[in-house]
Amino acid sequence: MASNTLGRRLAACLLNVSEARRKDLVETVARAAIYDSEGVKREATTVLNIFNDYDYNRSVITIVASIDSIREAILSAGVKACGLIDMRAHTGVHPCMGAVDLIPIYPLGEEVEVEDCAKEARAVAEGLTERVKGTSTFLFGWADDPLQRGLAQRRKEMGWFKKTLDMEAIRPDVGPQPQKQYGLTGVGAGPYVMNCNVTIDTQDIAIGRSIASAIRESTPGGLPGVQVLALPHEGAVEIACNVESVKGSTPSHMASGEPWPSFSISHQPYCHIPASLISSTVAELAGQQGVGTKGTALVGFTPAECKGLAEGALSQGIAEFWKEQHRIRM
């Protein structure tokens, strides 16, 4: 019975922070999401996973809670991160703009409405700038009312892809002109986004960029929902993909082969491309240039995995679930 109750109205936040080389610091941020300032465990809140990448110097903390209480968990973690991470000293090969770089909120079931997530995201953006003076945020997805611009578009508008940021040129949606200490944080909501990274066995970044361009959703014939960068990583090149869930059923031209996992939000169908299809496509394109692949890492979980594991963790009262896992989760 407890599991059924806890499983309702769940939302996830994949909190991206610009630190991975000090794992104790990242765990301190994660614990701030699940314990209040008195050390009391927050009700129905768990951290499922912490993914650290040394070269990127970036960590992703998977927080799951009721949509009615996730705001405080996110804000507490965000405030802690802003107090511990100074962007003036940050180095890493992955583009980033803020100590807390990204705060996306995703519904984990039919019970959570689009507007619920948008409302909480906007409240988090306001709350962070109020609690940490000098922080600034921009909005994306459902939270970006009324335009609902996607994350890739908003990042481009803010200069996220540029090698050198011009802080003076940035116009945040909430908060003051960005300060170098905190940088700029993207806050938004939308259907679940996974990260699927495929490593190709070369140091030639040009090959990586050609593959990234070919599979990017915006390229004719690209993969639906895939936003991608090619980055140097551990002596090779990583094809780092954000895998967005797409509205509707499996695209007809890609309906053959492995079925696409599907789910529903506000009575609307969504689906997402399987990681195996991204991996095989990258392998084929790399092979055409005489390059092999070294492996694929699914960062975090699929939407169904995230919901199922969260329900299990919450029904058992496990707040620090990332410590309980008996498998390595990339």
User: What sign for the dihedral angle of Cα 263, 269, 272, 274?
Assistant: positive
How remote is the C-alpha of 308 from its chain's centroid? 18
159-200: per-residue pLDDT in tens? 888 777 788 889 999 999 999 999 999 999 999 999 999 999
Query: Of 1.10.3720.10, 3.30.990.10, 3.40.50.300, 3.40.50.10320, which CATH number belongs to 2-191+303-323?
Result: 3.30.990.10
**Distance between CA atoms of 96 and 183, rounded to whole angstroms?**
9
Check pLDDT > 60 for residue 45. yes
Termini Cα distance of the chain = 32
Helix axes 275-287, 205-215, angle to 10 degrees: 130
Lay out the sheet containing 236-244: strands in order across: 226-233, 236-244, 193-200, 293-299
Per the listing, tokens 């394109």 go with: 285
Contact 65, 84 (CB under 8 A): no
Share of residues in the chain with pLDDT > 70 (%): 96
Nearest Cα residue to 201 out of 253, 166, 239: 239
Q: Which two tokens stand for residue 97?
A: 């703009």
- DSSP-based three-state secondary structure for 107: strand
**Distance between CA atoms of 74 and 46, rounded to whole angstroms?**
11
Angle subtended at Cα 322 by Cα 321 and Cα 323, rounded to the nearest 5 degrees: 90
For residue 323, what are the CA distances in angstroms to 68, 138, 221, 270, 313?
25, 32, 41, 31, 11
Query: Of 3.40.50.720, 3.40.50.1370, 3.30.160.20, 3.30.70.670, which CATH number belongs to 193-299?
Result: 3.30.70.670
Cross-strand partners of 306: none
**Distance between CA atoms of 19 and 52, rounded to whole angstroms?**
8
DSSP letter, residue 252: G
Per the listing, tokens 């129905």 go with: 44
For residue 135, what are the CA distances in angstroms to 61, 79, 97, 200, 315?
20, 10, 11, 37, 36
Which pTM value belongs to this model? Answer: 0.93
140-163: per-residue pLDDT in tens? 999 999 999 999 999 999 988 877
Question: What mean pLDDT value characterizes the chain?
Answer: 92
**What is the pLDDT, as a whole number, of residue 7?**
47
**What is the pLDDT, as a whole number, of residue 326?**
52
Check pLDDT > 90 for residue 256. no
How remote is the C-alpha of 13 from its chain's centroid? 8
Tally of CB atoms within 10 A around 91: 7
Check pLDDT > 50 for residue 1. no
Q: What is the mean pLDDT of residues 249-265?
A: 86
**How many CA atoms does the CB half-sphere of 5 hold within 13 Å?**
7
281-290: per-residue pLDDT in tens? 999 999 999 9
Domain with CATH 3.30.70.670 in the chain: 193-299
Domain with CATH 3.30.990.10 in the chain: 2-191+303-323
Per the listing, tokens 């008195």 go with: 38
Tally of CB atoms within 10 A around 248: 11
Helices (H), 69-204: 70-84, 114-131, 151-158
